[in-house]
Each structure stands twice: as C-alpha cells, then as structure tokens.
C-alpha cells in the first residue's frame, strides 16, 4: 500500500510548479480566474516576494500540490491513503474527490484571506522534548495562554501564542533540555485558540458548499482519523483552531500494514519528518486496526540476525566483533570515537540524510551529511536537527565541497561549520586548496588543557590524484595564511601554528566509484598515496601522520578485507548506503537500485562539469538518462550554437528530453543567473547551449530525488558496481529488499564479514597448517600481512 502526503506552508519556493503549468493549462487558467492574478507568474517568478505572504502562499501551494497529484496519478495507481499537513489537507480532500479542483481553491483562497488577517501572534518549533513534558512546562511556568499547534513527531512540536510569550519562553525550554527552539517567521498564532474568530468566519463561509464522500480515506489533522461526510464542515473549521496531529495521523496510516509514504508537492519537509515517525510510531494498539507491519526495534533485530546468520553462518559474533575492532588504524577509531575504522561518505542533495547520519552516529559509526546542492539555510537546519537527535559524543560530520565557481558560497559554508562547531568535515571535489578549507582547518587550531596546540577541526579529504594529495599532506600555504590573518579570520597565533599541521588528518583515496573519480584501481592508488604520505611525513615530521584510507568498490566483506591487507587505515563506503531506509532519495529509485547488478552502470558526462567532459558513474538499467546525457555532450562538442543543431536532433531534444522548446528553457534559466553569467551566455552561444543542456541534468536529478514518475526514464542516479556486488551477496536474505537495510547494520555485517574472511585466510595454508575453517585468536589482523 502507499499513502500520499501533501505539504503545507513552509514548502513554498520560487520556481515551484514551473513544469506543471504548461502541462495543465485548463487548471492553470481556472486558478488564475478564481484568484484574480496570474498563478503561474506568482509561483515561477515570485514578484515582490508575495509567496511568503499567507494570502498568496496557501492558494499557490494548493494549486502546485494539486497539479503534482494529477501528474503523479497519470503514471501510477491512486494511493490507499491521503493526508496533508495543515493547508495540504485540502489537496488530500481534492485527491479523494470530496470537491473539485476549483471548489478546493475557492475554500483555500477564503481560508488564506481570513488567516492572513490575524496578526501579533507567533509560533516556535521545539525539538528534543516529549509532548507531555512540553505541556507540563507550559502549565508550571505560567504560559497557560500558549497552545500546542503541531505535533509532528515524538519529539518535534510547534507551539503557538503571542509574540511576547513565544520570545519569553525560549530561555525556559532551552534550560529544560530542548535541543532546538526555533521561532517561526509567521504573523499569527496559527492552530491555536487565537484563531477562533478566523475559525468561526470560515465555518460560516463553507456552509454554502456541498461535499462528496471521500473515495480514498483522508486522515484529518483535527482527529488523526478518516473524514466522513457528516463531519467535513466541522472538522475543516476546527482545523484552524486545533493542533495538527501529524505524528498521530501518520502513525494511524502505518498501523494498517506495510504502507510506503510519498510526499507529493514542492520540497521535502514531510519526507524528512516521516523517517523519524517510521522509526518511532505511536503504538498500533490504540488505533483499533491491524498491527503495523513495519517492524519495531525488536523485530528489526530479528531481521538483522536472520541476515547475519545466512551471510556469516554460525561464526562467533563476539569474536568477529573483537577482530573487526582491530582492523585499520587505532588512531582513526580514537579520533572519531568509532568502534571500527569505517565511515560512510557524504552523498549530495542530502541523500546521506539527517535520518541516515543520526542513525549511524547513535550506533557509533562515522558518517557525513551531504550538503552539495543544498542552500546554506537547508544545511544549517540539518545541522540543528542532527545535533538535536544525536547523543553527546557520538560521531558525525558534514561535507565541505569545493565550489570553484562560487568561492563566496564555499566560504559561507565553512564559516557555518565553524560557527556551529562542526568538528569533522569531509572535503570533496578539490583540485587544490581554497581559502574556505584553509580557514576551517586553521580556525580549529587551539591549545588544550595541557598547553599543547591541537587541531580540533578534523579534515578528511576524498581525492584520486597525487598533485591534489600533496597540498593536503603539507601545511597550509603561507600566502593564504597571511590573507586570512589580514582579513581577521584567524589569529596571528593560529597562523604561527599552521606550519606544524598538515591540511588533512585523513586522506581517502577514491578509487572507481560514483561521483567524480579518475576510475583508478585501489591496488594502484592506495600504495602510491601512502608512499607519498611517508615521503612528506619524513620531511615535515608532523606529530600525527596523516592516515590513508580507501573508498570505491566496497560492497562485500572481501573487498574491505583486501583494503585492510593492502594497509588501509580505514574504509569509506558510498553507493551501498543510498539503498537504505534512511537514504534521502525516492523509494522509486531505491526499488531500482536493489535490483541492479555489477554490469548495470555506465559512465556519462557530469552535469556540474559538463563543459570539461568530466564523467560520473550512474545506473543505466531501465533508464534513458545515460544515452541522453552522452548525446547532449556529443552535440555540445559538435556545434557552437543551438541554432546549428539539425532539425531532427533539435526536435528530439524538445519533445523527449525537455518536453518544451529549448528557448523556453533558456528563458527560465535567465532569471536564475548572476548578471555576469547571463552576460556571458548572451555573448557566447556555446555557453548558452551548455546552460540549456545542463538543465536536463538538474531536472533528471531532481526527478530521481522526488520520485517523479512522469520522468522515470530520465532519472539520474549516481551509483557504482559496488552496490551490484552487495546485492548479489545479500540475495536470498532479508536484506534483498532495501526496506530492511540500515547503514549501521550494513557496516556491522561488512566489518564482521571482513574479520571472518581474514580469519579464514590466515588460518589456511600457506599461513597455517590448520584447515581453512580453523579458528584463530582475534587479534590485530594487519600484523600478519608482513609475513607475505
């Protein structure tokens, strides 16, 4: 079964729905007539920033959500449940045929006008406290005029009240253990007693309408139960003054069986929220329906143990754990406070998500949140969510990616990490040092309690070229250090200390994998980089030598074992982690990834480095994207302008790749370009062509992230053969489906499996006279390598 979730206020963004208005002209025209303004222009261009005003926000979101639903069901069956968050509930009712598209918009228009008149109220989001604790704190501290507005998950709650009360309560909640108290940018105390006048006015307005019985169960915010014809008017009016029971609503849906949840509309607010609800739903017993099939923690352990037994046999788990804990570098484990020399790398656009990083951290594994492609605001929000959910002292980090075309944005990201005291970063896509990465590294130089200078900001850099490795194996360049001092970003003392530290603590040699690599073999790459490290360490005599690990091709225990035999200080996995429950990519993509084999990938031009011909590895099975991406690059090399492309190819691009004219694509892009970039595109036809072609890459990536069924053949899915190998390893076990895969459990299986493989390897001839299955005492597995 599946349920569609429709977002409410907060999900609006400039450009939303731009691909839908042309596809649904009748609904677009009807919406503009009802509203009295051009809905397409409002959503795509956001004139005068009207999208953030309640009166405009609600109708715009209703229209885009509704068109998104129509687009979705053209390609797949209707869901078994629909529910929407606040405003999104009207789209759910439309989807269930309770009223027409036009009637729904009339209701929303009036609702927005009434709610937009409410002023002088405020709301704040709270993370880290249970509902009963929040209610008790309000009661015990005199805040009896504040209400619960949203109950979003077990420990994510929104409160409403006067602006003064919202501001005054912040100190109380932070003192009482709230991990995040975040005042929202709203004009009214929505979903509270302060909306009574608005609720009464809306109740009177909707009396004139006649509604149909829902054709699909619609779960109401007001009660967390399905709407019926008898209660429609009362529940819609009550929703304005009552809390949004989102946590209970989603739990109610999950209680009916194995239900997949899909967010339909702009943004991913509900997608991020659902992972926390799935991990800790309300008990099914209270709903009077079939107990949930999604397994609670105890049953998850049964699934994991079943897979463990099938994959590793009757091996002594404790012995394997002890051996696995000796693999790689002890210094790595101590630095990152992890039980194994294992990490999960960042995946752009938050695919290595808040939920993924949180779960890995709380299980004692190092992982990095994927910041690439996200705004600075989205990254800051993710940091706060992770901090709120991760237990103190547990390891996690953030991705810092090189932005050669926008060094200001890169520096802002580094500054955010410094401000938020992010101690671990994974540096990626660097071809040399930037001011941002040097600032982050040196800003973390400080004296410890014993007076020793230490680097508290740790850098792990992923790379595959010796010339890039060199700049990270040496101290920061003096010129950049001087600039940072002169600009006031670091102190003179930190500049003086800089020469005593390399730029990185760890180098991850990235062999053939998804993402930008040179497709090198780990058996050539790792030894060469380690030799380079040893040579430079002999020169600089750093107190702590840079550790060298490996990534790429790691999908089975024997590949991890081979890496440790080769001398890797640590291993870092990638592709296997995007096919897990917590990964921030659509279920549709995960369904495809769990079926791939090692031959199901291809190398194609990278959208972000299109002009240079750089390539990335992507899934090709069942997709047109690899062929189309390659065709676009071939056309770019062959022609100097769009106008030179022959008619047949141009028609194919417009009808199949972009589904509209190439000129309309450029007109859309123009409004999003910096002035200098636009001037370059207007003067250089080939650059204009590049910008248009690159839009296909960004569209295909967004389609994969959201699970847009209409664009399924164009999904851009970065992955490597390692995932195909992993799929073959876990075939015929409970882990054959991604719905049973969790990053921390995959890490345990791989590390224990590597330990088992190495024990067998060293127990067999020529290393031992015993049988291949003879037991060996767990110990530092790296030592016997010297016997070879």
| Tens of pLDDT, residues 687-745 | 999 999 999 999 999 889 888 877 889 999 999 999 999 999 999 999 999 999 999 99
| Tens of pLDDT, residues 606-633 | 887 788 778 889 999 989 999 999 999 9
**Sequence-ordered list of residues with C-beta below 8 angstroms from that of 194, at least 6 positions apart, any chain:** 118, 121, 147, 160, 161, 162, 188
- Do the Cβ atoms of 321 and 763 come closer than 8 Å? no
Would you say residue 288 has pLDDT above 80? no
What number is the average pLDDT over the span 334-363? Answer: 95
In which element (H, E) is residue 446 found? Answer: strand 445-447
Give the N- to C-terminal CA distance of the chain in Å, as an integer.
55
3-class SS at 595?
Answer: coil
User: Residue 111's Cα: distance from chain center in Å?
Assistant: 33
Q: Cα–Cα distance between 201 and 137 in angstroms, integer?
A: 32
Would you say residue 779 has pLDDT above 90? no
What number is the average pLDDT over the span 344-373? Answer: 94
What is the band of 422 on the pLDDT scale with cuts at 50, 70, 90? very high
Model pLDDT, residue 672: 79
| Tens of pLDDT, residues 543-596 | 999 999 999 999 999 999 999 999 999 999 999 999 999 999 988 899 999 999
| Tens of pLDDT, residues 6-40 | 999 888 999 999 989 988 999 999 999 999 999 99
3-class SS at 259?
Answer: coil
Model pLDDT, residue 768: 55
Model pLDDT, residue 712: 87
Phi, psi of 418 (to 5 degrees): -65, -45
Model pLDDT, residue 522: 86
The reported pTM is: 0.67
**Count of C-beta atoms within a 10 Å radius of residue 418:** 14
Would you say residue 372 has pLDDT above 60? yes
What is the band of 642 on the pLDDT scale with cuts at 50, 70, 90? very high
Query: Which stretch of 257-271, 324-338, 441-455 has the lowest confidence by average pLDDT?
Result: 257-271
**Count of C-beta atoms within a 10 Å radius of residue 495:** 18
What number is the average pLDDT over the span 772-788? Answer: 35
What number is the average pLDDT over the span 359-384? Answer: 93
Q: Cα–Cα distance between 516 and 261 in angstroms, integer?
A: 32
Place of tokens 């589904």: 659
Model pLDDT, residue 103: 94
What number is the average pLDDT over the span 114-127? Answer: 89
pLDDT, greater one: 514 or 639: 639
Percentage of residues of the chain with pLDDT beyond 70? 95
Residue tagged active-site, from 86, 251, 352, 706: 86
Model pLDDT, residue 521: 85
What is the band of 778 on the pLDDT scale with cuts at 50, 70, 90? very low
CA atoms within 13 A on the CB side of 444: 27
| Tens of pLDDT, residues 206-260 | 999 989 999 999 999 999 999 999 899 999 999 999 999 999 999 999 988 888 8
* Closest among 417, 85, 400, 423 to 269, alpha carbons compared: 85
| Tens of pLDDT, residues 410-421 | 999 999 999 999
pLDDT, greater one: 744 or 448: 744
| Tens of pLDDT, residues 323-335 | 999 999 999 999 9
What is the band of 463 on the pLDDT scale with cuts at 50, 70, 90? very high
Give the CA dihedral 527, 718, 584, 401, nearest 10 degrees: 60
Would you say residue 516 has pLDDT above 50? yes
Residue tagged active-site, from 11, 68, 191, 563: 191
Q: Is 191 part of the annotated catalytic residue set?
A: yes
Write out the two tokens for 772.
């291949």
Would you say residue 748 has pLDDT above 60? yes
Would you say residue 770 has pLDDT above 60? no
Domains of the chain: 2-116+193-287 (3.40.366.10), 121-183 (3.30.70.250), 301-573 (3.20.20.70), 588-722 (no CATH)
Q: Is 700 part of the annotated catalytic residue set?
A: no
Q: How far is CA 462 from CA 401, 410, 517, 549, 573, in A?
A: 10, 17, 10, 9, 12
| Tens of pLDDT, residues 541-557 | 999 999 999 999 999 99
Would you say residue 291 has pLDDT above 50? no
Q: Compute the chain's Rg from CA coordinates.
A: 28
What number is the average pLDDT over the span 125-130? Answer: 91
Q: Cα–Cα distance between 549 and 531 in angstroms, integer?
A: 13
Helices 743-763/557-565 angle, 10° precision: 60
Would you say residue 294 has pLDDT above 50? no
Model pLDDT, residue 761: 82
| Tens of pLDDT, residues 79-88 | 999 999 999 9
Model pLDDT, residue 785: 34
Model pLDDT, residue 587: 86
What is the band of 299 on the pLDDT scale with cuts at 50, 70, 90? low
3-class SS at 513?
Answer: coil
Q: Is 135 left (phi over 0), alpha (psi -120 to 50) or beta?
A: alpha
Alpha helices (H) in 404-546, listed in sequence order:
407-419, 435-443, 466-473, 478-486, 492-497, 522-540
For residue 603, what are the β-bridge partners?
Answer: 617
Would you say residue 787 has pLDDT above 70? no
Query: Which stretch of 248-257, 307-316, 772-781 has the lowest confidence by average pLDDT?
Result: 772-781
Q: Cα–Cα distance between 320 and 748 in angstroms, integer?
A: 10
- Do the Cβ atoms of 450 and 402 come closer than 8 Å? no
Would you say residue 292 has pLDDT above 60? no
Across the chain, mean pLDDT equals 90
**Sequence-ordered list of residues with C-beta below 8 angstroms from that of 557, at least 6 positions apart, any chain:** 729, 749, 750, 752, 753, 754, 756, 757
366-369 vs 397-401, strand pairing mode: parallel
Model pLDDT, residue 767: 58
**Sequence-ordered list of residues with C-beta below 8 angstroms from that of 355, at least 6 positions apart, any chain:** 272, 275, 276, 279, 582, 584
What number is the average pLDDT over the span 166-180? Answer: 90
């Amino acid at each position: 079964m599946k349920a569609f979730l429709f977002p409410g206020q907060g999900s609006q963004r400039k450009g939303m729905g731009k691909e839908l208005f042309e596809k649904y002209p009748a609904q677009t025209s009807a919406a503009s007539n009802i509203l009295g303004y051009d809905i397409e222009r409002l959503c795509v261009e956001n004139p005068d920033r009207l999208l953030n005003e309640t009166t405009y926000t609600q109708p715009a979101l209703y229209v885009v959500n509704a068109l998104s639903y129509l687009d979705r069901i053209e390609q797949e069956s209707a869901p078994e449940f629909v529910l929407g968050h606040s405003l999104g509930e009207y789209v759910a009712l439309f989807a269930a045929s309770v009223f027409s598209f036009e009637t729904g918009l009339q209701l929303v228009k009036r609702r927005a006008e009434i709610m937009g008149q409410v002023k002088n109220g405020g709301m704040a989001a709270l993370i880290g406290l249970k509902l009963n604790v929040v209610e008790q704190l309000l009661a015990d501290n005199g805040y009896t005029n504040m209400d619960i507005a949203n109950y979003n998950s077990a420990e994510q709650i929104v409160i409403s009240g006067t602006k003064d009360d919202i501001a005054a309560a912040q100190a109380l909640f932070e003192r009482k253990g709230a991990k995040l108290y975040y005042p929202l940018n709203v004009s009214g105390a929505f979903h509270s007693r302060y909306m009574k006048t608005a609720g009464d006015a809306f109740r009177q307005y909707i009396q004139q309408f006649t509604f149909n019985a829902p054709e699909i169960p619609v779960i109401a915010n007001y009660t967390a139960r399905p709407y019926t014809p008898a209660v429609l008017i009362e529940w819609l009016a009550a929703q304005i003054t009552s809390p949004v029971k989102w946590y209970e609503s989603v739990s109610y849906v999950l209680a009916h069986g194995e239900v997949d949840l899909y967010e339909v509309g702009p943004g991913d607010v509900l997608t991020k929220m659902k992972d926390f609800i799935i991990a800790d739903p309300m008990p099914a017993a209270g709903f009077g329906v079939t107990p949930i099939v999604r397994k609670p923690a105890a049953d998850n352990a049964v699934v994991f143990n079943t897979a463990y037994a099938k994959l590793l046999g009757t091996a002594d788990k404790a012995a394997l754990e002890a051996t696995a804990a000796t693999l790689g570098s002890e210094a790595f484990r101590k630095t990152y406070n992890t039980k194994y020399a294992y990490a999960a790398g960042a995946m752009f656009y938050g695919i290595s998500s808040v939920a993924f990083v949180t779960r890995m951290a709380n299980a004692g594994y190092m992982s990095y949140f994927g910041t690439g492609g996200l705004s600075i605001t989205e990254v800051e929000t993710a940091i706060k969510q992770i901090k709120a959910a991760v237990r103190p002292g547990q390891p996690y980090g953030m991705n810092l990616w090189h932005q050669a075309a926008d060094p200001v944005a890169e520096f802002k990201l580094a500054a955010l990490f410094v401000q938020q005291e992010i101690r671990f970063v994974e540096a990626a896509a660097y071809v040399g040092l930037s001011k941002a990465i040097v600032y982050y590294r040196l800003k973390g130089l400080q004296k410890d309690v014993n007076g020793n200078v230490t680097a508290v900001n740790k850098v792990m850099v992923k790379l595959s070229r010796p010339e890039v490795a060199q700049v990270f194996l040496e101290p920061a360049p003096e010129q950049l250090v001087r600039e940072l001092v002169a600009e006031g970003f670091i102190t003179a003392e930190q500049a003086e200390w800089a020469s005593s530290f390399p730029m990185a603590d760890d180098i991850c040699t990235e062999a053939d994998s998804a993402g930008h690599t040179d497709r090198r073999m780990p058996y050539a790459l790792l030894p060469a980089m380690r030799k380079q490290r040893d040579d430079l360490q002999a020169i600089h005599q750093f107190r702590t030598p840079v550790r060298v690990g490996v990534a790429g091709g790691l999908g089975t225990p024997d590949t991890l074992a081979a890496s440790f035999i080769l001398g890797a200080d640590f291993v870092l996995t990638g592709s296997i982690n995007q096919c897990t429950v917590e990964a921030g990519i659509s279920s549709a993509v995960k369904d495809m990834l769990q079926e791939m084999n090692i031959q199901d990938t291809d190398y194609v031009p990278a959208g972000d480095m299109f002009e240079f011909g750089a390539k990335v590895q992507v899934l090709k099975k069942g997709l047109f994207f690899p062929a189309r991406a390659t065709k676009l690059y071939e056309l770019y090399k062959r022609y100097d302008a769009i106008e030179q492309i022959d008619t047949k190819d141009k028609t194919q691009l417009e009808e199949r790749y972009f589904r509209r004219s190439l000129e309309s694509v450029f007109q859309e892009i123009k409004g999003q370009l910096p002035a200098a970039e636009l001037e370059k595109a207007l003067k250089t036809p080939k650059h204009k062509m590049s910008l248009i072609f690159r839009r296909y890459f960004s569209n295909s990536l967004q389609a994969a992230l959201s699970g847009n069924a209409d664009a399924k053949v164009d999904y851009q899915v970065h992955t490597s053969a390692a995932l195909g190998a992993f799929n073959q390893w876990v075939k015929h076990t409970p882990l054959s489906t991604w719905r049973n895969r969790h990053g921390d459990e995959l890490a345990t299986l791989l590390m224990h499996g590597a330990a088992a493989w190495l024990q067998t390897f060293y127990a067999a001839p020529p290393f031992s006279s015993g049988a291949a299955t003879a037991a060996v005492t767990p110990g530092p597995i790296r030592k016997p390598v010297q016997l070879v």
